[in-house]
Structures are given as structure tokens and as C-alpha cells.
């Protein structure tokens, strides 16, 4: 089976891309846990964090900090963002390709977060969700573009 993140990296699959460089692609999760749920995906097919070259691993948190800043500037996760790596199949890693989740949080959002955990892969309200993702992507790209 083909890796979905490799297909996105090779532009064989669409994605709400926010940023790219030689080592990473930053995109919105199409099954978000919360609004503006961002993924930092390694361009290299690396199932585990240990499979990334050290130089790439060292850049991961720097890029995460930059993306967290953009999320906060856009009004997402102003007081909290979960950074999450599911490292291997026993850790609930759905795609065996290294990716870091940035999940913006709000006060009192735990019930909604838990509900999303249960239903996130169901095709409920996909059109509305797709429109929301498009708006989030445009907003974040604008902020990231101002950094350059």
C-alpha cells in the first residue's frame, strides 16, 4: 500500500499545504481534532522518529515553534497547543510516516476533543469541514507569508 504522506509530498494527492522546505511539509489535518489542527510531515518516509536523520530531527521543534506562533497569531491555541507524535503502531499512529500534530486548544474544549476522537474518521459534515479547512489554510498562509 502506498503511503498517503509520501503521495502528498510527491503532489500525487491534494492537501491544504501551509509551508514546505527540503525536509518538511506543513499541512492541515483533514480529520482535525480541533480547528486549525496542523501536521508537520517529514518528506523522508520515516515510520519512527528514530528513522529521521539527526539534522532533520533537530529542525523539527524549531519548525513546530514557528507553526505554533502562526497558529497563535491567527487566534488558534492562544493559551495552549498540544504537540503530539504517535511514534509507532502501538501509539495509535494511523499513518506509518513521521508526523507531528499541533492541536490548538481552548478553555473547556475537552468534551469536544473527546467527541472528535470518537467520530473524526466518519464522513459527517465533510462539505462544511472542507470549507472550514480552506478558510483556516488561507488565514495561516497569509500569516506565514508575512514572516518571509
Active-site residue, 16 included: no
d(CA 43, CA 20): 9
Q: Active-site residue among 16, 97, 99, 101? A: 99
> Distance (Å, rounded) from C-alpha 35 to C-alpha 104?
7
Angle between helices 54-73 and 126-147 (to 10 degrees): 100
Cβ atoms 32, 133 nearer than 8 A: yes
Distance CA 111, CA 117 (A): 10
Best CA proximity match to 38, nearest among 93, 101, 131, 114: 101
Kindly list the catalytic residues: 99
Amino acid at each position: 500500500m502506498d503511503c498517503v504522506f509520501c503521495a502528498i509530498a510527491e503532489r500525487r494527492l491534494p492537501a491544504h499545504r501551509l509551508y514546505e522546505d527540503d525536509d518538511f511539509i506543513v499541512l492541515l489535518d483533514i480529520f482535525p481534532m480541533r480547528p486549525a489542527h496542523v501536521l508537520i510531515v517529514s518528506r523522508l518516509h520515516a515510520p519512527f522518529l528514530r528513522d529521521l536523520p539527526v539534522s532533520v530531527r533537530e529542525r523539527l521543534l524549531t519548525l513546530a515553534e514557528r507553526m505554533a506562533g502562526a497558529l497563535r497569531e491567527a487566534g488558534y491555541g492562544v493559551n495552549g497547543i498540544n504537540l503530539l507524535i504517535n511514534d509507532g503502531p502501538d501509539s495509535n499512529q494511523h499513518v506509518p510516516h513521521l508526523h507531528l500534530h499541533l492541536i490548538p486548544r481552548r478553555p473547556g474544549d475537552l468534551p469536544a476533543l473527546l467527541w472528535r476522537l470518537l467520530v473524526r474518521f466518519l464522513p459527517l459534515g465533510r462539505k462544511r469541514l472542507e470549507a472550514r479547512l480552506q478558510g483556516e489554510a488561507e488565514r495561516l498562509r497569509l500569516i506565514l507569508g508575512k514572516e518571509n
